[in-house]
């Protein structure tokens, strides 16, 4: 190949190094591996550019400056390779200032040695003069030998880290590590070949050309393989940083591993134990009685259990058995989460629901009481006219037509005389006594109503005329038998009653009430303290007025 061709190759390697460095630099926020690769490719670009320049120029200044630039480029490549390997193996790794300083010591010393005329030959001799071309004398100095050993040592440690991680990696991460190792081996082999060729004092440094291949492979990895875009996370980082406690036990239930969250859980459950001396101890001894029962039952309940291991301390336990490829038990992985706060919230919600349900029951009871009070007479406790209208509107008017319906209307005789003579309190007492008697005389399905004042009504569904008259007589006699004492006097009161009966499909309940009222008027007009049925009723008051007798007091 002509000298011009070699210069083009070196220049191409420099361009590829710059492009790769820019590509990965954009991803430096995700992982330090991006920064390491960017530094490495920056060194490759500088190395390649300086090789292109020194092989295309006969300038003494260029050739004198080449050793220092070469040492700077190699120093960047070596330090970047170390950072790349550390960042890929452990994505959480970040270089400390002290480490950066140590990595910079050797390159800085070599740059100074290569820049000073007095020490330049210790690094590289033969580039101080010459012409264009790649096959000219270049003697490697003793400092360069020391530098080479140092660089190989750092790079060797880096490759060893990558190789160890590659052995345990799986999937995409394994492919990424494989690409890195392959590209690194190509560049290293090229450098070794170049140095061996230069041992006789002839030849040129073709290492940048091998880095051209490395740059192309790394570019492909970045653009096509998702390298540094899909950053893997080490298992140790996952287990150590998850908030759940992870405990690993062998088939004998002896603890063999746990994460920091597991140590915090044990410290919560058993504060008397030494958190640093847990591995190798039986799980039963570490967990305590209540927690041990929860762990034991978790396996029986499809690997999941919620247990209260202390007062107010709840844990959610998930139990996963671990087996080898032959199905032999290797142990169990217990993932434990402290759900005390969630349980407390759930208990609070359940308590609120219970209180709410109780309040709903109270409200329903109060509503029922209010509804009942709305249809009750406050003085006597009997139903009022509103309730009577609701009963009739609810279907009693027509539903019981085939079974009959009897209505008894009652009115206390000479009630005004009681109020005038003994006062309204005595009148209320009489009303209450009559109401109690009527309430005691009704049966299931009957309805006793205070219509207002001293007038009452009783509905008897299914009763015929004979039964209704008999019931009315019983009520009349019961009222008359009661003796009331007011102001040292003993009196009796009587009631008059009117009865109306519908024995089949006939008049409506409203018509029946009117008939009972007319019968009541007849009873009062013909002497009071009696029962009159509607079919025995005399003509109304407009046709046959009857004078009231004196009150029976």
Numbers of helices and strands, H then E, in the chain: 19, 14
- For 21, 186, 209, 456, the CA distances from 182, given in Å and listed in that order, are 18, 6, 15, 110
Q: Based on the residue annotation, tell me whether 373 is a catalytic residue of this protein.
A: no
Q: What is the pLDDT of residue 544?
A: 37
Q: Is 324 exposed, middle or buried (0-12, 13-18, 19+ CB in 10 A)?
A: exposed
Q: Which pair of structure tokens corresponds to residue 49?
A: 């550019």
- For 139, 372, 376, the CA distances from 363, given in Å and listed in that order, are 103, 14, 19
d(CA 91, CA 88): 6
Q: What is the pLDDT of residues 178-231, one digit of tens each?
A: 887 887 777 777 777 776 765 555 555 666 667 667 767 766 765 566 665 555
Q: What is the pLDDT of residues 404-416, one digit of tens each?
A: 789 999 999 999 9
d(CA 529, CA 474): 12
d(CA 164, CA 159): 9
Q: What is the pLDDT of residue 505?
A: 59
Q: What is the pLDDT of residue 316?
A: 83
Place of tokens 């058995």: 321
Indicate the SS3 state at residue 55. coil
d(CA 332, CA 347): 31
Indicate the SS3 state at residue 92. coil
d(CA 28, CA 425): 98
What is the per-residue burial (b if ≥16 Cβ within 10 Å, else e) of 196-215? Answer: eebeeeebbbbbbbbbbbbb
Nearest to 445 by CA among 393, 501, 405: 405
Give me the sheet containing 255-258, strands edge to edge: 255-258, 245-249, 329-338, 313-323, 304-310
pTM for the complete prediction? Answer: 0.46
Q: What is the pLDDT of residues 63-88, one digit of tens each?
A: 888 888 888 988 898 898 888 888 87
Note the maximum CA span of the chain: 159
Q: What is the pLDDT of residue 454?
A: 94
Task: Quickly list DSSP for 191-202.
Answer: HHHHHHHGGGS-
**Given 299, 323, 351, 454, which residue is catalytic?**
454
The backbone torsions φ and ψ at residue 481, rounded to the nearest 5 degrees and listed phi first, read -80, -15
Quick one: CA torsion of 262, 268, 270, 275, rounded to 10 degrees? 50
Q: Which pair of structure tokens corresponds to residue 316?
A: 């959610």
β-pair partners for 448 = 458
Contact between 315 and 291 under an 8 Å Cβ cutoff? The reply is: yes
Reported for 468-471, long-range contacts at CB under 8 A and 24+ positions apart, including other chains, are 468/406, 468/407, 468/408, 468/499, 468/501, 468/533, 469/499, 469/531, 469/533, 471/406, 471/408, 471/441
Q: What is the pLDDT of residues 456-506, one digit of tens each?
A: 999 999 888 999 999 999 999 999 999 999 988 999 999 999 999 987 656
């Amino acid at each position: 190949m002509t000298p011009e061709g070699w210069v083009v190759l070196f220049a191409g390697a420099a361009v590829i190094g710059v492009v790769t460095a820019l590509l990965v630099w954009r991803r430096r926020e995700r992982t330090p591996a991006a920064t390491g690769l960017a530094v490495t490719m920056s060194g490759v670009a500088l190395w390649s550019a300086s090789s292109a320049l020194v092989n295309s120029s006969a300038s003494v200044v260029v050739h004198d400056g080449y050793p220092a630039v070469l040492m700077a480029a190699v120093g960047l490549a070596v330090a970047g390779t170390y950072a790349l390997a550390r960042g890929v193996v452990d994505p959480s790794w970040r270089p400390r200032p002290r480490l950066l300083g140590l990595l910079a010591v050797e390159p800085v010393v070599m740059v100074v040695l290569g820049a000073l005329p007095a020490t330049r030959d210790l690094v590289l001799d033969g580039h101080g003069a010459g012409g264009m071309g790649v096959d000219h004398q270049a003697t490697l100095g003793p400092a360069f030998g020391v530098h080479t050993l140092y660089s190989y040592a750092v790079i060797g440690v880096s490759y060893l880290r990558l190789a160890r991680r590659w052995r345990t990696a799986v999937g995409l991460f394994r492919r990424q590590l494989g690409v890195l190792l392959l590209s690194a081996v190509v560049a290293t082999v090229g450098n070794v070949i170049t140095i061996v060729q230069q041992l006789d004092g002839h030849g040129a440094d073709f290492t940048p050309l091998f880095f051209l291949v490395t740059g192309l492979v790394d570019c492909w990895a970045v653009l096509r393989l998702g390298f540094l875009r899909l950053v893997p996370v080490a298992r140790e980082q996952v287990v150590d940083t998850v908030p759940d406690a992870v405990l690993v036990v062998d088939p004998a239930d002896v603890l063999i591993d746990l994460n920091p969250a597991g140590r915090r859980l044990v410290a919560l459950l058993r504060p008397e134990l030494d958190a640093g001396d847990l591995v190798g101890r039986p799980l039963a001894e570490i967990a305590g009685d209540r927690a041990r029962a929860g762990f034991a039952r978790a396996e029986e309940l499809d690997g999941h259990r919620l247990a209260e291991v202390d007062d107010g301390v709840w844990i959610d336990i998930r139990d996963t058995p671990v087996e080898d490829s032959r199905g032999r038990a290797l142990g169990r992985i217990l993932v434990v989460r402290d759900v005390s706060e969630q349980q407390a919230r759930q208990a609070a919600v359940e308590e609120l629901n219970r209180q709410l349900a109780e309040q709903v029951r109270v409200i329903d009871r109060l509503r029922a009481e209010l509804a009942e009070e709305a249809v009750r007479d406050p003085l006597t406790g009997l139903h009022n006219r509103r309730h009577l209208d609701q009963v009739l509107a609810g279907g009693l008017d027509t539903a019981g037509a085939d079974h009959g319906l009897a209505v008894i209307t009652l009115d206390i005789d000479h009630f005004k005389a009681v109020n005038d003579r003994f006062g309204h309190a005595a009148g209320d007492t009489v009303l209450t006594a009559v109401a109690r008697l009527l309430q005691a005389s009704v049966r299931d399905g009957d309805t006793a109503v205070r219509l207002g004042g001293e007038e009452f009504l009783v509905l008897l569904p299914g009763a015929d005329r004979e039964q209704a008259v008999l019931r009315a007589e019983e009520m009349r006699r019961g009222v008359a038998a009661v003796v009331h004492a007011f102001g040292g006097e003993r009196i009796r009161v009587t009631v008059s009653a009117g009865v109306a009966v519908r024995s089949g499909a006939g008049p409506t309940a409203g018509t029946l009430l009117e008939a009972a009222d007319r019968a009541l008027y007849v009873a009062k007009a013909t002497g009071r303290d009696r029962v009159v049925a509607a079919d025995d009723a005399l003509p109304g008051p407009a046709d046959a007025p009857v004078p009231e007798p004196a009150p029976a007091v």
